[in-house]
Amino acid sequence: MKRDEHGILNAELNHALASMGHTDTLIVTDAGFPIPQDAWRIDLALTRGVPGLYEVLEAIHGELIPETVTYADAVPENNPEMDERLQDLYGDTGTDLETIPHEDVLAHGSEAKAIVRTGAYVPWGNVIIQCGTDPKPFFDGDREVMPDSYQWRYEEMHGESP
């Protein structure tokens, strides 16, 4: 059994997260997202609302470094609770938050490395997470110089200079 009782226990979701590289995308969806036939589908849905969208996003956030989080542009006006929760989860982490038309969110299904289906019934409850990296481990040698753009990202992620 895994040592950390707070980490993700689902084997397939763990496998997908461990397989993600910089710029790969993971989509966490509500129960109604049209998942393409050939997509890597990780179906967590059990019953209506179980597991919830926000529970799954929080669990994934504990294990994956997001660079960009994208969701439907209808969310801020039509589902302000979701917008607030996404802002709370990702807003102070150096993650870029973007909105795009709902149809474009749906189109990303064919490009995602994996799609995680929840039991959520949340209007526009589909979130695209583009994976990032923590720059510090890549620049921790004596001879590497971290570019300013990476220093900024590190400071946003950790609240301190590298």
Q: What is the DSSP string of 91-113?
A: TTTTPEEEEE-HHHHHHGGGT-S
User: Looking at the domain assignment, is residue 146 inside a domain?
Assistant: no
Helix, strand or coil, per DSSP, at residue 153: helix
With 90 as the cut, is the pLDDT of residue 47 above it?
yes
Containing domain of residue 100, as a range? 25-80+95-131
Share of the chain above pLDDT 70, in %: 97
Whose CA is closest to 60, among 155, 119, 128, 122?
A: 128
DSSP secondary structure code for residue 47 in this structure: B
User: Looking at the domain assignment, is residue 152 inside a domain?
Assistant: no
CATH number at residue 65: 3.40.1650.10
pLDDT at 161: 77
| DSSP H or E run through 75 | helix 75-78
With 80 as the cut, is the pLDDT of residue 3 above it?
no
Q: Kindly state the average pLDDT of the residues 130-154.
A: 81
pLDDT at 153: 76
Helix, strand or coil, per DSSP, at residue 43: strand
Mean pLDDT of the chain: 92
User: Looking at the domain assignment, is residue 142 inside a domain?
Assistant: no
User: Looking at the domain assignment, is residue 20 inside a domain?
Assistant: no
Strand ranges (E), 14-120: 25-29, 41-43, 66-72, 96-100, 114-117
User: Looking at the domain assignment, is residue 16 inside a domain?
Assistant: no
User: Looking at the domain assignment, is residue 161 inside a domain?
Assistant: no
With 70 as the cut, is the pLDDT of residue 4 above it?
no
Cβ-based burial of 47 (10 A; exposed 0-12, middle 13-18, buried ≥19): exposed
Please give the structure tokens belonging to residue 45: 């849905």
User: Looking at the domain assignment, is residue 10 inside a domain?
Assistant: no
User: Looking at the domain assignment, is residue 160 inside a domain?
Assistant: no
Paired strand residues for 114: 26
What is the count of structural domains for the chain?
1
6 is catalytic: no
pLDDT at 148: 81
Catalytic residue among 6, 15, 22, 61: 22
Q: Kindly state the average pLDDT of the residues 38-60.
A: 97
- The pTM for the full model equals 0.90
Q: pLDDT tens-digit profile of 60-117?
A: 999 999 999 999 999 999 999 999 999 999 988 889 999 999 999 999 999 999 999 9
